[in-house]
Structure 1
């Protein structure tokens, strides 16, 4: 599907009544299980991908090429629009970010997220102008072929500044971001303020505000147009693995070997678009 058609298809999910729930996969089986459950689009998770490779997220330890290949695999297997959680766009400069967006279009992604992170633990959030320039460069490179999400990680990085968060998201929307996003707003009032400030630009939310886990219906009522889960599903699966490991250490083979059947896995894999 040409980039412009894929853009229109994916963007339409954001602008319809209720928007969409976009869970994040981390391998072929998880992507196919989400498709099998009826989800209309999926995202990658930079944190989950990094973990599967034994690396840390947000430290430039996963390469752009590795993430692109991963995203293309998920899209090829499922036939679904895939949104790439591409950290800071794998770029120190706006030009680098533009190159990443061009590559994402070539790899068939439907969307791409560009964060204002830097990968530097001592200065984790880019300065305002630098962040806006990177998002502007992403939008200019996208040319209506891929949905661009402008994201600020203020709350994740211990900067609970709602005014600065809204300032950044508003600026991202003004330079053309199709969607904006601030993971883990501190409460529903903060989320309401964000949705109001950037309207009519669609807002993504990562699971729920930090103070309370809301339902999909409650988030939709608050005006959220896309709900993603980041690494949450991966963490849930890994939690089950840790429980099984503890049972195995204790000698409990029964508890350590429960779970989905191999027949179920084979059936899901057989439906993949290989």
Structure 2
């Protein structure tokens, strides 16, 4: 599958019909989601970290890319990879490693270290370099961390998002944005808007009604599966 196929899934969608992208953490979970009929998948860095025995944000780049490559090889649908802040790689190397892993999209976040927002213009310039290296071969989802580690001001989120879209981002992702500010974000941001949902149809439907174009789940599906295994283990021990 190509980036063009994946990019097309973001456009021309009816109101209230967001693109729903489950978050596989390994090849087996990726196959489950693909077999269920989802048209594309989006890996969560935190879910993969947990599956590999790391804390969120601590996975070595080589292990993350290897895990993502296993997922992409396991399915025939497009896969987008959450590669956090890019692991300090130069844009040319980052793009090369993503394409080598077989993915057609990526998440790139605008915070670093212990919860510090990057300068938005510098980050936009870096995104522009990533776009120049990737051409049309990657769908870039620019994560906006205003609500995670910043002021929580919707105006700041819109400002950052506009810079990132101008730099070539295909989609923006205001992580942890309260659902009540979604209409304001939708009004202020051109193009596809990614929101995170809980693993329930009600959560997805509500975000779609309020203007989300694309729905991802972060590590919630991996945590749901771990919880189910925990319940099974408890029953076996009873």
| TM-score, structure 2 as length reference | 0.90
Q: RMSD over aligned Cα, in angstroms?
A: 2.1
| Structure 2: runs of 5 or more not aligned | none
Q: Which digits, 9 at most, give the CA deviation of each residue in 1:126-153, with x for residues without a partner?
A: 1223322222222112111111111112
**1:101–1:112 Cα contact (<8 Å) kept:** no
Q: What's the CA shift for 1:218?
A: 3.3
Q: Distance in 1 between matches of 2:175 and 2:91?
A: 21
Q: Distance in 2 between matches of 1:154 and 1:55?
A: 25
For 2:74, which of 74, 77, 86 is the aligned residue?
77
Quick check: 1:204 aligned with 2:194? yes
Q: What's the CA shift for 1:124?
A: 2.5
1:185 counterpart residue number: 177
Q: Which digits, 9 at most, give the CA deviation of each residue in 1:2-47, with x for residues without a partner?
A: xxxx111000111032341001001111111101110010111100
**1:45–1:230 Cα contact (<8 Å) kept:** yes
**2:26–2:71 Cα contact (<8 Å) kept:** yes
SS in 1 for 2:55: coil
1:15 counterpart residue number: 11
Q: What's the CA shift for 1:158?
A: 5.6
Alignment: residue pair count: 234
Q: Which digits, 9 at most, give the CA deviation of each residue in 1:63-104, with x for residues without a partner?
A: 22222222221121111100001100112xxx6244212221
| TM-score, structure 1 as length reference | 0.79
For 2:208, which of 216, 220, 241 is the aligned residue?
220
Q: Which digits, 9 at most, give the CA deviation of each residue in 1:170-219, with x for residues without a partner?
A: 1101111011111121133x1111121112x11111116xxxx9543433
**2:121–2:163 Cα contact (<8 Å) kept:** no
Q: What's the CA shift for 1:246?
A: 4.1
For 2:103, which of 86, 103, 109 is the aligned residue?
109
**1:90–1:97 Cα contact (<8 Å) kept:** no
**2:65–2:101 Cα contact (<8 Å) kept:** yes
Q: Distance in 1 between matches of 2:67 and 2:213?
A: 26
Q: Distance in 2 between matches of 1:124 and 1:49?
A: 23
2:165 counterpart residue number: 173
**1:41–1:82 Cα contact (<8 Å) kept:** yes
